[in-house]
């Protein structure tokens, strides 16, 4: 399992998620954020996050 924050200092969590899900055996990814934005939720679920 991978736990990612939406906003990180160098590379944002959504970009990391897009790389992780391309792995041959991708782990389950959960995203974390303190931002109340439906845009973030939709984007992360569409990109392959479990929640």
Residue with tokens 């041959």: 24
pLDDT tens sequence across 3-40: 888 888 888 888 999 999 999 999 999 988 877 777 88
**44 vs 38, more confident:** 44
Per the structure block, which two tokens stand in for 23?
């792995």
pTM: 0.78
Distance CA 31, CA 51 (A): 6
> Tell me, what's the pLDDT at 6?
84
31 sits in which H/E element = strand 29-32
> Tell me, what's the pLDDT at 29?
93
Mapping DSSP to helix (H, G, I), strand (E, B) and coil, where does residue 40 land?
A: helix
> Tell me, what's the pLDDT at 26?
94
Distance CA 26, CA 40 (A): 21
> Tell me, what's the pLDDT at 17?
92
């Amino acid at each position: 399992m991978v736990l990612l924050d939406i906003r990180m200092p160098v590379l944002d969590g959504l970009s990391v998620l897009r790389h992780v899900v391309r792995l041959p055996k991708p782990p389950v990814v959960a995203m974390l954020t303190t931002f109340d934005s439906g845009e973030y939720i939709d984007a992360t679920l569409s990109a392959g996050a479990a929640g």
